[in-house]
Structure 1
Amino acid sequence: MCSSLITKKFKKYVYLIYVVEKLKKWGIIMHEKKKVKCVVWDLDETIWSGVLLEDEKVKLCRSVVKIILELDKRGILHSIASKNNYDMTINKLKELGIYEYFLYPQINWNSKSESLKMISEKLNLSLDSFAFVDDQEYELAEVKHSYPEVLCMLTKDIDSMLMMPEMTPNFITEDSANRRRLYQQDIERKTCEESFNGPQVDFLSSLDMFFSIGLASESDLERAEELTVRTHQLNTTSQTFSYNELKEFMTDPQYRLYITSLEDKFGDYGKIGLSLVKCTKDTWTIKLFLMSCRVMSRGVGTVFLNFIIDEAKKAGVSLFAEFIHNDRNRIMYVTYKFNGFREREINNDKNIVLLEYDMLRETTYPPYVKVEILQ
């Protein structure tokens, strides 16, 4: 497909996003069903039969465990919101061999909505990507009242859960299959950070971070699509692209599709960054720039952006970036501004802000991360 056709397709796609969002806002069309990123489970009469406080010999519901294991393979996270004694419950989960599957379990006497909010904050995931399963209609109603965006399900209705579109990702990549383990590594990092005495830069130096940047290959495209679908907060345009669309950009000489990965002493973060840059004779334009929320505080987003800036300088071109505001991604606008971009023009019809980089500005790289440029 020729470059001009891809460019027209890109512009048309941006305009369609704008129109669709307006139609959703006006209620003319319904919002598409979002993929679930985390399922929060009740315990009594849900994951096990019986009430733990009444009888410690509760029995595990094997059919529910089967669902949990399958969703875990698909990269969907799990947590717990249970009104129970904490120590007794944790010991029972360990005894039954399922403790490791639940991140940030909330076992207390708070409302279930409070527990879901806490899990959401800990995972840094929005509640509209959550599902909640409980055997009590009252608990589901309480959560639904507080957070109508949460998908609520009665325990007796979960037999078809594995076939729901919300629970079925387009691809199961290596990163998604390891997602729980990646989050568990993040928990180790946070625990280490909380106990670290000294400046933040010293803690970051202690992580021995190794950041890789390179042009995407066809083997990266499934993960690249997944990143565009799952990443909303650290995403400059919130656009999603299919495998085939990304492949077209990857093979077109007028575009550069970069992908990044990160590892440190705790393990591999996986592929965590993506950028699409349109390259013409005199100008480069960053059409998409995103980073996984798991690396928000690591400073590698600035490293990635500086790499693109330096590549544009080598090419002797001006550098621009497109930005589309949403209710979550202001931090990326601040990232652009902090790193030397300034507003050039605003297209109110399409809600696009065009920023231009000051090419006289010098780029600086943090000393605590080693960078490898893959050829």
Structure 2
Amino acid sequence: MTTTTIVKCLVWDLDNTLWRGTVLEDADVVLTDAVRDVVRALDGRGILQAVASKNDHDLAWKHLERLGMAEYFVLPHIGWGPKSQSVRAIAERLNFAPSTLAFVDDQPAERAEVAFHLPEVRCYAAEQVTALPTLPEFSPPESTVDSRRRRLMYQAGFARDHAREAWSGPDDDFLRSLDLRMTIAPAGPEEITRVEELTLRTSQMNATGVHYSDAALRALLADPGHEVLVVTMGDRFGPHGAVGIVLLATQPQVWHLKLLATSCRVVSFGAGAVILDWLTDRAARAGVHLMADFRRTERNRLMEVAYRFAGFMESGCACASPLGEPAGGVERLHLEPSPRPGPRTLTLTAAGSIPFTASATR
């Protein structure tokens, strides 16, 4: 059985493709409702959209703004170079494989030029635009909270990178300026797909490397003895999205942290240490012992450091006996928790005293 590769980014030509008319020849250009609906539909599915157009940049951009479409395009390449170069630059900036990009243009010669230099990029004629949302390659199997705001996350990331490049002071001061915020809350049914992805793809900050399937996570959601918590972050530029998972088994005397994983995108922020700080404070207030599963790998040294700084140690604690022996190289770390100051406003130490507002929703 062959699997359709989903398009992650659609690159648009403008004249007589996105809109009717040409910027340099017509007093005005027209965007049809049908094309506008296509752009919005793909955006809602988490498919990024960019521009590769041979045009006067300032004039074309004014039309995009006038039509209310500028916000939908993450990387507009408007100029006079070959469109294959623009498409390649877009793929590299997004760190996407060419096979996950598509290109739509009304000119056969332009499609041929892109296809010649980037044969993995799928090319479509302008006449096919309204049919694109019906094609399997533009129909991701799942729609998640993060997929629906993917464009905003990328735009925030580009703005954040630009601000960092322009910053002339110490890195710690820049990180403080971000106004980083963290939320820890029970995962909802529509967030499970993203949570499963984190268990599968995260390696640097993954305590065990155990993959929990969609079905297993949904079963734990329904189990009163387990908590499946999702960690999200944002800053003054916009959302980072879901960046972590906490899988916790709760018993009267002990809480068993089966999995802690955070995205590599927030490793530099020390998010794992912040989560452990919050969890330790919460366990202390509940009067329970904390136990965490951990498996050493070549890539998760930072997670081990986070556990050690939080106070977790090997121990022959009797609380582990009812759970049986861990399997597959997993060891059990233990902590007798004590209250941590300021459980609502946490200080991230790994990257230099950055305040988080961590709101834990129960």
Task: Give the structure-1-normalised TM-score.
Answer: 0.67
Q: Distance in 2 between matches of 1:54 and 1:317?
A: 70
Q: Please tell me the residue identity of whatever aligns with 1:111.
A: P
Q: Aligned pair 1:319/2:293, yes or no?
A: yes
Structure 2 vs 1, CA of residues 373 and 161 (structure 1 numbering), >3 Å: closer, same or farther? same
Q: Which residue number corresponds to residue 75 of structure 2? A: 104
Q: Which residue of 1 aligns with 2:131?
A: 160
Task: State the shift of 1:171 in Å.
Answer: 4.9
Q: What are structure 2's unaligned runs of at least 5 residues?
A: 309-327, 336-346
Q: Does 1:92 align with 2:63?
A: yes
Tell me if structure 2 keeps the 8 A contact 1:46–1:61. no
Please state if 1:250 is matched with 2:236. no
Name the CA distance, whole Å, in 2 between partners of 1:108 and 1:210.
38
Q: Cα distance 1:66–1:86, how it changes in 2: closer, same or farther (>3 A)? A: same
1:82 aligned residue: 53
Deviating more after overlay: 299-308 vs 72-81: 299-308
Q: Name the SS for the 1:48 alignment partner.
A: coil
Partner of 2:322: none
Once the two structures are superposed, the pairs formed by residues 358-369 of structure 1 within 5 Å of their partners are 365-366=348-349, 367-369=353-355
**Structure 2 match to 1:59:** 30
Q: Give the superposition deviation at 1:106.
A: 1.2
TM-aligned CA distance change 1:152 to 1:233, over 3 Å: farther
Verify: 1:212 aligned to 2:183, yes or no: yes
Distance in 2, Cα, partners of 1:47 & 1:297: 39
Structure 2 SS opposite 1:94: helix
Residue 225 of structure 1 is aligned with which of 193, 199, 215? Answer: 193
Residues 24-82 of structure 1, C-alpha deviation per residue, up to 9 Å, x if partnerless? xxxxx53x224333221111221123443444533334432220022223333211112
Cα distance in 2 between the residues matched to 1:241 and 1:276: 13
Compared with structure 1, are the counterparts of its residues 173 and 358 closer, same or farther at alpha carbon in structure 2 (3 Å cutoff)? Answer: closer
What is the CA–CA distance in structure 1 between the aligned matches of 2:118 and 2:334, rounded to whole Å?
A: 45
Match of 2:231, SS state, is strand
Secondary structure at the aligned position of 2:152 is classed as helix
Displacement after TM superposition at 1:166 (Å): 3.1
Equivalent position SS for 2:233: strand
In 2, the alpha carbon distance for the partners of 1:81 and 1:148 equals 17
Distance 2:243 2:175 in 1: 17
Q: Hey, what's the Cα distance between the residues in 2 that align with 1:282 and 1:188?
A: 40
Q: Is the 8 A contact 1:231 1:292 kept in 2?
A: no
Answer yes or no: is the 8 Å Cα contact 2:11–2:50 preserved in 1: yes
- 2: CA distance between counterparts of 1:61 and 1:297? 44
How far 1:262 moved relative to its partner?
A: 1.6
Q: Return the alpha-carbon distance in structure 2 between the equivalents of residues 144 and 355 of structure 1.
A: 49
CA spacing shift, 1:107–1:337, aligned 2, 3 Å: farther
- Give how far 1:225 is off: 0.8
The amino acid that maps onto 2:189 is: L
* AA matched with 2:63: K
Give the whole-Å Cα distance in 1 for the aligned partners of 2:267 and 2:87: 22
Counterparts in 2 of 1:196 and 1:153: CA distance versus 1, 3 Å: same
Check 1:359–1:110 CA distance in 2 against 1; reply closer, same or farther (3 A cut).
Answer: farther
CA distance in 1 between partners of 2:15 and 2:28 (Å): 12
Instruction: Report the Cα distance in structure 2 between the residues aligned to 1:111 and 1:124, rounded to whole angstroms.
Output: 20
Distance 1:169 1:267 in 2: 24
Answering whether residue 235 of structure 2 is matched by residue 261 of structure 1, we say no
Distance (whole Å) between structure 2 residues aligned to residue 240 and residue 168 of structure 1: 24
Among all aligned residue pairs of Structure 1 and Structure 2, give the percentage whose two residues are the same amino acid: 33
Q: Residue deviations 1:264-322, cap 9 Å, x none?
A: 33444443323546899998653x735284x5654425544776799999745453248
**Secondary structure of 1:49's partner?**
coil
Pair 1:254–1:174, CA change in 2 (3 A) = closer
Aligned 1:305-344 pairs, distance under 5 A: 315=289, 317=291, 319-321=293-295, 333=300, 335-336=302-303, 339=306
Say whether the 8 Å CA contact 1:212–1:261 is kept in structure 2.
Answer: yes
AA paired with 1:110? G
Larger radius of gyration: 2
Cα distance in 2 for partners of 1:249, 1:322 equals 25
Shift of 1:189: 2.9
Q: TM-score, normalised by structure 2?
A: 0.69
Q: Secondary structure at the match of 1:60?
A: coil
Task: List gaps (5 residues or longer) in structure 1.
Answer: 1-28, 324-329, 342-352
Instruction: Give the Cα–Cα distance (whole angstroms) in 2 for the partners of residues 198 and 59 of structure 1.
Output: 46
8 Å CA contact 1:211–1:262 kept in 2: the answer is yes
CA deviation profile, 1:166-185 (whole Å, cap 9, x unmatched): 33344545544343334333
Aligned positions of 1:138-153 closer than 5 A: 138-153=109-124
Determine the structure 2 residue equivalent to 1:291.
263
